[in-house]
Each structure stands twice: as C-alpha cells, then as structure tokens.
Amino acid sequence: MDRRRFLGSAALLAAPRILFAKAATERRFVFIIQRGAADGLNTLIPYADPAYASARGALAIDPASALKLDGSFALHPSLGHLRTLYAAGQATLFHAVASPYRDRSHFDGQNVLETGGSAPYQVKDGWMNRLLGVLPREGKEAIAFSPAVPMAFRGAVPVTSYAPSALPQANEDLMVRVEQLYAQDGQLHALWSSALEARGMAGGMGGGANRQDAGALGRMAAGFLGRADGPRIAMIETSGWDTHSGQAARLAAQLRSLDHMLAGLQEGLGPVWEQTVVLVATEFGRTVAANGTGGTDHGTGAMAMLVGGAVEGGRTVADWPGLSSAHLLDGRDLKPTLALDALITAACAESFALEPERLSPVLFPHGGKRPLVPRLLRS
C-alpha cells in the first residue's frame, strides 16, 4: 500500500472520536441521488395514458414488455427486483414530482435539491446536514458513499465519506508491517485503526474489479449500515442519468444498476432491512418528446421512489396531469403535481419520529406550506 492510498483510506474516518448523529430509533435512512436528470416517464411508465405512445414515439416502452403494477403504471423491464419489492409492499412510487427548481441546469437543479433552497445557491448547507442537527447525537455516524462529502451533507455537523479505491488490494503481510510501523504513534495509529475499521465494514471491497458492480456497492453500504454501532443516515451518489442520445440502451443499463444496488442493499442488511427507508430522487425530469438523437432533453416533472422494509408500500402515488400537449408544462414537460420537498419532509419525519410541521422549515427554510402526502411508513 503506497502512502497516497494509506492516507486516503485513513482520511475516511480521520476523526474516530467525533460522534455523529444518532436518531432515537433503529431506522436507517438512505438517500440515493440520480445525478443527471433521470427519465421518470420510462422508469415508471404511464402506459395507459392515451398520449404516452404517440408523445414518446420510438422511445415508448411496449406495455407487453413492461412490468405492470396496476391499470395505469408499469415499471421499466430492467427493474425486476423493484417490482418484487413493490409486490411485497416494500416500495411506494411517486410520479409527476419536482423540487421548486424550474430551469434546466444540472448544477443549479442539484444545488436546489441538495440544499433545500427555493433557488440555486440560496442556502449554503445541505438539508441532510440540517436533519442531523435536529437529531440527538449519541454516537451513530452519518456517511456518504462518494469520493467527497456531497452538498446535501455539508454543514455544521461533521460527516464522513467512503468510496472504494480503484487501486489493487494490499497483501496481508504489508498490512501487518504498516500496523507495526504506526503502533507507537498515537495519532497515526488511531487513523490506521479507523481505516481498517472502514475496510472491515466495507467487506474488504477495495480493488477496482468490484468498483462498478452496483450489487456489490449496495452490499458494501449495507456493511456499514447494518452494524449495531454503524451509521443510521447515508447518501449514495449515482451518475450517468443524462440521456441526451441513445437513451433506450443507456437508461436500461442505468436502471439495471439501480435495481442491482437496491437488491445488494437489501441482501446485505438482512433483518435490518425491516428498519430501512431508501429515498431515490433526481434533480428534474426529461422532456416528454424525444429529440433527434434518440434521447430526451432536460425537463421538469420526474418520479421518485421510497423503498425498504419499513415502507408502507405497494402503491403508486400520482395526481396524474396527463401527457396531451394541452397539459404539458411549457408545451414540452411533464407538469409536476407533487412537491419533492413535501415527500422528503414526510419521509424524514416518519423515519425519526419528528413533527413534519416543525421539520419542514428546518429542511426547506424558504419553502411555503406544502400539501400533505399519505402515510409513508409502517407503524
């Protein structure tokens, strides 16, 4: 192991005595962000809408191959495990969802989503960090599974991050030698011990061979979240959702990876899955019509999902606006009818037994009064 890799590993938990957020519950809350504006219309397919097939053209998913949920909506064929979770009552799907952002910049849209502002760069810290600030801090960490701490987690409460290294695994002989080298150094020994603890939680996942295996990433995250002394709140970054061209194959691959990640997370958590809530959301949706390169452009309304053993699922929630041209936003986008802010607030409030009316202005300080969403979690 070279010095750069050692320092990178040690920095994952560089302050092992800092105590992070602990909720007064055994619930785990995970936010998976889909960076790039995921296409909700071909993720949760409104196949019964009379305008769907004509508006989407060649990109329309054949209802015969889609995974039908009810008489109105179906899942993309790549989401087989999500369909199983839905059938088991462990997934609720939301359509025509959006943050307050109404322009089409990825950077600005992600900033609004992660900070909880009503405009880009209006708020300087993240809503997940502010959530940590209202929870009792008794020794449970929050963690971001990303190379750096994402905007949603930045703020006054310290948060660590972890990402598997692309470098080859060091052999055990070298690990023992480094252990001996730092045994008498109080600071470096503490850092080394923290790095080894993180390596153990990750199940030894560190070599580049597994880095792109979404199922393995899900199981790695579960290695942290499933521990009795591990984190309760986490964020996982996914990217590659910007499908301006060749969308059919690219979206199928992206959704397959997400499906494998959810399956890996469930498998790795075992019985802890019953206490888990996973929120999946993107910064905005994509245009209803395809462009000239077999893709879609930046839009507005999207879909979001709430998954986990703690979810009161088996439902699709949508005040469906319709896809006919007269019902589109700006004549091109799915019109949002559900505030993503309200969904996030309700999910967090129920997960951690907080009052949504008091939590909402903490997470979304510039938001107005939002319509209530139906009960999301099991009692």
Q: What is the pLDDT of residue 164?
A: 74
The SS3 assignment for 304 reads: strand
Tokens standing for residue 12: 């994952």
Q: Which residues on adjacent β-strands are paired with residue 369?
A: none
Q: Where are the domains of the chain?
A: 3-363
Within 10 angstroms of residue 119's Cβ, the number of other Cβ atoms is 15
Is CATH 3.40.720 the right assignment for the domain spanning 3-363? yes
Q: What is the pLDDT of residue 330?
A: 96
- The pTM assigned to this predicted structure is 0.84
Alpha helices in 244-339 (DSSP H): 247-269
Q: How far apart are the first and last CA of the chain?
A: 48
- CA–CA separation, 378 vs 324, rounded Å? 36
Would you give per-residue pLDDT tens digits along the chain (379 residues)?
333 333 333 333 332 222 334 445 789 999 999 999 999 999 999 999 999 999 999 999 999 999 999 999 999 999 999 999 999 999 999 999 999 999 999 999 999 999 999 999 999 999 999 999 999 876 467 999 998 999 999 999 999 998 875 545 555 555 555 566 666 666 665 655 555 555 555 454 444 444 468 999 999 999 999 999 899 999 999 999 999 999 999 999 999 999 999 999 999 999 999 999 999 999 999 999 999 999 999 999 999 999 999 999 999 999 999 999 999 999 999 999 999 999 999 999 999 999 999 999 999 999 877 777 889 999 8
Tokens standing for residue 371: 């319509």
Q: What is the pLDDT of residue 188?
A: 64
Contact 114, 127 (CB under 8 A): yes
Backbone angles phi, psi at 166, to 5 degrees: -85, -5
